[in-house]
Amino acid sequence: MQILRCPAQLQLLEETLRKSLPTTLPVLGTVMTVARGNPASHEVLVDSWPHFGIVLTRLRPEEHRDPRDYYTNQLAVFYRDEGALQALLRGTEAVTRARAFQILGMQDGLDEAVQEVASARGMKVE
């Protein structure tokens, strides 16, 4: 996953996400916040740029205080194909099993993908 920091990239991503509202809403707000100064210490990650398959927003890892606190480790996701989501959940540095987390998204198939990956790893999902 690649972290977007360049204002031009964030602006282009924002414009792209606006075209797919309302499904992009969980990530669009954070993209806008990061592009405008990032007072909340979030980061925006994509699998590739400029032709991304998935966008993930999260609090910067150095801001985490308690690995068991899934409220501070909220992830928001927008994906163009389920393969990118499966790859993200199965094993990337962006989503680590060392921390409890919540994943937010508005797309069909998100819950099923999370349940499938969790059961394959013998993990419980609430």
Does 84 map to a domain? yes
| Residue 36 located in a structural domain | yes
Residue 62 CA, chain-centre distance (Å), reads 16
Residue 76 tokens read as: 């928001």
| Structural domain includes residue 53 | yes
Query: In the prediction, which pLDDT does 21 show?
Result: 93
Packing angle between helix 7-18 and helix 25-35, nearest 10 degrees? 150
Neighbours of 95 (CB within 10 A): 20
pLDDT of residue 96: 66
What range does the domain containing 79 cover? 2-121
Averaged in consecutive runs of 10 residues, what is the pLDDT profile of the chain (126 residues)? 93 96 93 90 92 90 74 84 80 68 78 78 72
Decide if 30 contacts 57 (C-beta within 8 A). yes
Question: Residue 126: inside a domain, yes or no?
Answer: no
Is the residue at 87 inside a domain?
A: yes
How do strand 102-104 and strand 74-79 relate by DSSP bridges? parallel
Number of domains in the chain: 1
